[in-house]
Amino acid sequence: MATLGTTALTFADWAKRVDDGYRIASIIEMLSQTNEILEDMLVVEGNLPTGHKTTVRTGLPQATWRLLNTGVPNAKSTTAQIVESVGNLETYAVIDKDIADLNGNTAEFRLSEVKAFLEGMSQQVAAMLIYGNQGVNPERFTGLTPRYSTINTANSQTANNVISGGGTASTNTSIWLVVWGDNTLHATFPKGKITGLQHRDMGEWPVADSLGNTYQAYRDHFKWEIGLVLRDWRYTVRIPNIDVTLLTGVSAANLINLLIRALYRMPTAPASATTIQTSDSPEVRAHMGRAVIYCNRIIRTYLDLQAMNKTNVLLRIEEFDGKPITTFRGIPVRTCDAILNNEAQVV
C-alpha cells in the first residue's frame, strides 16, 4: 500500500531528487496505482451546498377490484428523501524556498512534488469510492462497500444485490458491477462550486516552523470536494468473498457464473449482456446509464486468462483506440487497485 508523506521537504529529500549534474532526476513512481474508476465516474452537481438530495419511490398505489354499484377507496404512492453528503479532501505542499531554489530549477523541483500530491489524493478518493464510511469517519463520504455489506436480505434491501463468491477467510476481494447514470449512481460536488481535484500555486509565503519562527516557502494548495450518490441501489451489484488464495485451485470461485448472476440482478441491462432491456417505467428505459465492471489486477488477470480460452464466448479482448479492452458480454472490465485483497468475509 502507498505511504503518504506527512512532513515538509528537507535537504535530504532534495539530495534524493537530483542527479550527479544537480538536475531534477526522473522519479520512478513506485507507489502509483491504476484506478480507472476515477476516469469513468459520472459527476453531477449537487442540489445542496453540502451534497445532494435524492427522492426515491418507496411504495406504489394499490388499486381495488370493483363490483358494480360499489365504490373504491383512494390510493397514493409513497416516497422518501435521502441526503448524500460531500467530503472535503484538502492539503498544502510547503517547500522551503532555499531548498527549491538550490539547483536553479525551482519550477521543475516543485512540479516533482505536485505530482506526488495529485497521485496521493487520487488514491485516497478511489479508496473512499470503494470503502468510505461516513458513519465511522464523519468528515468523509460513504462509498460502495458500507452500502452493500451483507448477504442477509433480512438486514438490508441491498443484500439482494450481493452475491457471495464462497470465500470464508480474510483473504477476499470483490468484483463490482455498477451503472453510472443520472438516476442510478454518480459522484457529486457542492452546488455552485468547482468539480474535480483543484490545484492552486500560491507562490512564495512566510511560513512558521514548529517553534513559531518564520521562513520563506513556496506553497501549493490542493482541494477535492466529492461525494457519491446512490440513487437506485438495484443498478449496483457486489460480488464479495472471492478468496484470492484459491483462484488457481479446485475451490476457486466461478467468476463467469458469478458475473452472469450479477447481470440479472439489475432491472435492465445492455442488449449484449442479458435478455432484459425493457421495464414498465419509461424513466428506467431512458436513463439506465453506462455499465462497468471493476476489479483489482489479480481478478483482472484471471479474467483475461479466461478470455484467452478458446471455449470462452462471454469474455472478449477487444481493441479500442489502439488499446486492448476486456469486456464481459459487451460490458468493459476496468482495473481498480483500490479494491483490496484482504476483505473480511461478508455474511
Query: Which is nearest to 26 in space by CA: 84, 108, 82?
Result: 108
pTM of structure: 0.85
Q: What mean pLDDT comes out for the span 165-177?
A: 96
pLDDT above 90 for 312: no
Break the chain down into helix, strand, coil percent, rounded to 5: 25, 30, 45
Give, in order, the Cα–Cα distances in Å from 320 to each of 302, 317, 326.
21, 10, 10
Mean pLDDT of the chain: 86
- Over residues 118-161, the pLDDT tens digits come to 999 999 999 999 999 999 999 999 999 999 999 999 999 999 99
Instruction: Return the residue matching grid coordinates 465516474.
Output: 41
Q: What mean pLDDT comes out for the span 240-256?
A: 92
- Over residues 263-288, the pLDDT tens digits come to 999 998 776 666 565 655 655 554 57
- Over residues 99-117, the pLDDT tens digits come to 899 878 899 889 988 999 9
Supply 12's cell numbers: 535530504
Question: Which residue intervals of the chain are DSSP H helices?
Answer: 11-15, 37-40, 97-100, 106-131, 255-263, 282-286, 297-307
Supply 283's cell numbers: 424513466
Q: What percent of the chain has pLDDT over 90?
A: 60
Q: Which residues of 21-57 are buried (b: 16+ CB within 10 A; e: fewer)?
A: eeebeeeeeeeebbbbbbeebbeeebeeeebbebeee
Q: Where are the chain's structural domains?
A: 11-58+80-335
Among 9-18, 37-46, 180-189, 307-316, whose mean pLDDT is lowest?
9-18
The pLDDT assigned to 76 comes to: 87
The pLDDT assigned to 299 comes to: 97
Confidence bin at 249 (pLDDT 50/70/90)? confident
